[in-house]
Amino acid sequence: MIKPDFIKKIVLGKIEGTDLFLVDIKVSTSNKIDVYIDGINGIQIKQCVAINREIEGVLDREQEDFELQVSSPGIDTPFVVMEQYHKNIGRHLKIQLNDNTELEGKLLSVGEDEIQLEEAKKVKIEGKKKKQLIIENKNISLNNIHSAKVVISFK
């Protein structure tokens, strides 16, 4: 079986000095290799092809057969690495905390061990007929986040 660490070394060598970053590598027992790459400004198909060719050039099909796919993780995929938070500052996120609480809001900033989220929600205020829009900034520890992903909006 091909080792993920071996693939990681090849990929990191290829993307060094670029704005690309490695999100994840999955290798199945049947040697199906999925490499997920992203970039601060996104990733182009030609960049995925170049990384695919780099990996194919190092691996030997004569020695071990494999299936290889290099792609972006997709917009609806939960975040895996810190760079994904940095890339998505200013976007609307849906976050599930470890206690299963869900938050939605605009990602304002990313720190070393926490993020700041601007959460807007309508709340019933005593003495008012309509619910009022309340905007609250929340600091959330990265250790407290179970999953986070971008909310897709077609507005």
**pLDDT tens-digit profile of 70-123?**
999 988 899 999 999 999 999 999 999 999 999 999 999 999 999 999 998 888
C-alpha distance from residue 105 to each of 70, 83, 148 (Å): 31, 19, 11
Average pLDDT, the chain: 92
Question: Rounded to whole angstroms, how far apart are CA atoms 140 and 114?
Answer: 5
CATH topology of domain 4-71: GMP Synthetase; Chain A, domain 3 (3.30.300)
Task: Identify the CATH assignment for 82-150 out of 2.30.30.100, 2.40.50.100, 3.90.105.10, 2.40.110.10.
Answer: 2.30.30.100
Question: Rounded to whole angstroms, how far apart are CA atoms 151 and 140?
Answer: 18
Q: Which of 147, 95, 86 is nearest to 118 (CA)?
A: 95
pTM: 0.86
